[in-house]
Chains A and B, each alone.
Chain A
Amino acid sequence: MSDPESTEDTPTESADGRQTGSGPVTDTAPASVDLFLPREDRSEPAGLVAETSEGVQEMFRRGETGHAEIRREAGGVLRIPEGSGLDGPDIDIELSEDETMIINMGPQHPSTHGVLRLMMELDGETVLRTKPVIGYLHTGMEKTAEELTYVQGSTNVTRMDYLSPLHNELVLSLAVEELLGVELPDRAQWIRMLMTELNRMSSHLMWMATNGMDLGSTSMMIYGFREREMILAFFEKTTGLRMNHNYIRPGGVAADLPDGWEDDVAVICDTIRPRTDEYDELLTGQPLFRQRTESIGRISAEEALALSLTGPILRSTGVPWDLRRSMPYLKYAEVDFDVIVGTYGDNFDRYSIRLNEIRESVRIVRQILEKMPAGDYRVQDKKVTPPPRARIDESMEALIHHFKVFTEGFKVPEGEVYVAIESPRGELGCYLVSDGSSKPYRMHIRGPSFVNLQALPLMMRGGLLADAVAVCSSVDPVMGEVDR
């Protein structure tokens, strides 16, 4: 937009000594010009006049705008590791609006993995600032949880992270059990481990599929979905549903494993393990794939820790932090597995970490196959666990307990607890407050993708727009969990 007045205004402006990008930030600059004065009475010359749909509007020149204003307008609060926010020198306020462009990617963009909207400031094809805008899938699940009993609670949380529903159920159940103080039978814990490890495999396979598609490898997409389907079929056999299982419940699991589960699981392991080697052939060694992923979206360990990142993103920077190893829950202390770490914190490291975590999960599942103990799949506590169907016909007490558990639910002692597990995306936490009734007083889920999304502005800065898709994919956000 050309401005006829700008040439004669320039001396006045430089004499004014306005700070341009260095030194302390002045937010008071725009206030020195009073918009309500008539134009000739103003001490400062006005900017340009634009014809808008609402009539003629006066605008200041870009240089008149303070840093805080620009930050708000561009919507980009850059998270710089020192926590300094967006400081003066970081914004080039001399860069005119003609040179940068703010575009919206999403919320309907297919490569944002759901309804994620990214506001990006671009200089040509280079991404300067990014702001993830979320909330398009917010359904108030934390509020809903306060209206549901503990028995019904896992039906609610399982819908958060829809790619790893069993982890959501697990974290809620562990929190409730910690407040109840019940100790689970061994078999229940091993079943939970088996199911969540299979779920980790299916979630990572889904990620391999979508990441492949984002980078243009549609074969990978088909392969990833094909392998995931095997696991979902086993889930359907065990829990009755392919997704949103409501299988892991406070007090154990909903049902014992089906007959012949060992064969099914062995077939899954024997199929998926060699196929990960095929993925190696398809992707890992490919020059095109490596160029699209290596040194793209880099992040350092200090930055990752400052931004509270967890999961494969944190491990890609070389920090060996896996809750299964560092703060073991269930029976993870009794199985043998490796924590995969990267070196450079780039997209390629995150890819190889997820690929190798599938292999580690196969390794864990094979050990579970050997070690699965006999026993009960849920705790035998009449107040917590509903009685078996057969008992209801012969025992009045069983009928009453059944009725109580499913109408009123069970009461959980007063207290608060924070429990965290390692979901495929990172630390999945549940903060539960009980007031002694049969419904949670407050249930907060710490979604790993919600926190990990904060890394996007840092990872994308200075990269190309085409790589923004790859970076977004490598963070692996699941919007159901981000927005909850």
Chain B
Amino acid sequence: MTPEATTAASVAGGGAPRVQAPVSHGAVFPTRAQYLGVVGDLRDDGFETCSDLCAVDYLTHAPGRPLPDGVGAERFEVVVNLLSLSRPRRVRVRVQVPAGDATLPSLFDLYPGVEAMEREAFDLFGIVFDGHPDLTRILLPEDWEGHPLRKDYGVGRVPVQFKGAPGPR
């Protein structure tokens, strides 16, 4: 059975499945409302562990990026990589998250292992995961302002002092 067929079958229960198969593995594109249901179905379908969760900011690459029909491109995208150990296979779940309301339900109840990963996505992208038990900054200091991996975050520069440069006068 192809990976696409499996994901389609498993998603068929909740909502209209939108399945696309990019380069190497299948990827599922649920809406935010379908997100928890789709991931829950996939877990029941044998994807025992969530190997990765990360966010992407498509601010400067928004128009024209390849998405299946019917999926409206939004600024943020959260990518969840699920792994099935029994039939070695991965599936990616890609959810569009709008910039105005950057929230998403937390997967903590399904996969407790996403705790640190969701905190990282919150820390670096400012995406709020509803239902996360301890959504605080994880890599940056608590009083840090802004979310550095966003594309519109200004990258600071430290002026470089060269050896032979004239002094500050």
User: Which residues on A are within 8 Å of B, measured CB to CB?
Assistant: 71-72, 77, 79-83, 85-86, 134-135, 138, 140, 142-143, 147, 178-179, 305-310, 319, 321, 326-327, 414-418, 420, 427, 429, 431, 433, 435, 441-442, 444, 446, 450-451, 453-454, 483-484
Contacts and interface: CB of A to CB of B under 8 A. Distances in A.
25 contacts: A77-B115, A83-B111, A85-B108, A135-B140, A138-B139, A179-B23, A305-B49, A305-B85, A306-B49, A308-B113, A308-B114, A308-B117, A415-B22, A415-B23, A416-B23, A416-B79, A417-B24, A418-B25, A418-B79, A418-B81, A420-B90, A429-B81, A441-B61, A450-B120, A451-B113
A85 B106 CA distance: 13
Contact of B61 (A140, A321, A327, A435): A435
B111 A135 contact: no
B27 to A, nearest CB: 8
Contact of B139 (A319, A326, A418, A483): A483
Interface string B92-117: 10000000000000001111111111
Interface string B129-168: 0000110011111000000110000010000000000000
A105 to B, nearest CB: 18
A420 B51 contact: yes
In the A-B complex, the 8 residue pairs with the smallest Cβ-Cβ separation, listed nearest first, are A308-B113, A77-B134, A135-B139, A444-B54, A446-B52, A307-B113, A83-B112, A138-B139
Given A140-B148, A418-B81, A433-B61, 5 more contacts: A79-B113, A414-B65, A431-B52, A453-B116, A454-B116
A427 B140 CA distance: 24
B41 interface: no
Nearest to A302: B48
B112 A327 contact: no
A429 B90 CA distance: 12
A454 to B, nearest CB: 5
Given A86-B133, A414-B65, A431 B81 contact: yes
A446 B55 CA distance: 12
Contact of A451 (B24, B56, B117, B141): B117
Contacts of B50: 308
Contacts of B116: 450-451, 453-454
A126 B57 CA distance: 44
Contacts of B108: 83, 85
B113 to A, nearest CB: 3
B148 A306 contact: no
Contacts of B113: 79, 306-309, 451, 454
Contact of A143 (B25, B115, B155): B155
Given A134-B138, A138-B140, A414-B65, A321 B85 contact: yes
B70 interface: no
B52 A79 contact: no
B141 A135 contact: yes
B79 A306 contact: no
Given A86-B133, A305-B85, A435-B61, A429 B66 contact: no
Of B48, B113, B137, chain A has the most CB atoms within 10 Å of the CB of: B113
Contacts of B85: 305, 319, 321, 326
B25 to A, nearest CB: 7
A435 B57 CA distance: 12
B151 to A, nearest CB: 8
Nearest to A426: B51
A85 B56 CA distance: 27
A134 B139 contact: yes
A429 B51 contact: yes
B65 to A, nearest CB: 7
Contacts of A326: 85, 88
Contacts of B52: 418, 429, 431, 444, 446
Contacts of A147: 155
